[in-house]
Amino acid sequence: MLPRLLEPLSRFMSPVALLRRMSHDVTRHEAHLARELARLAEEAGRHRFSRRSRVFHHVTRQVQPEGWVYLITLHPREYRGVPLSVLRRLASAHAFAGEASPTLKDGVTLRSLPAAGSA
């Protein structure tokens, strides 16, 4: 029941985000995605995610023999306007591996690289 209550909140878009979405400037979309991935990488490094990250992205944690691995699902609205190759390049620059569905309608799941000594 809780995910259904949070769904309208996770769909909210600020006026700034709406203007960015309406623009066709790929560099603006890429810069936004780079900032978002940098923020998520920092939170994954601290092993503590903000309420914003938990509401707007589905964050789960798995234990691997190498350490903790976080799975973060990006909604398609976060990377719309950015080619998948650019998204993968930005994700790898921030220590994430992207796993996309063939149609990209289900979002992209980012897998963080396991942190050494976090097991």
Strands (E), the chain: 58-64, 67-74, 96-100, 108-112
pLDDT tens-digit series, residues 12-61: 666 776 666 667 778 888 888 898 899 999 998 888 888 878 877 888 88
Question: Could you tell me the pTM of the whole model?
Answer: 0.73
Beta strand 96-100 with 67-74 is unpaired
pLDDT at 5: 57
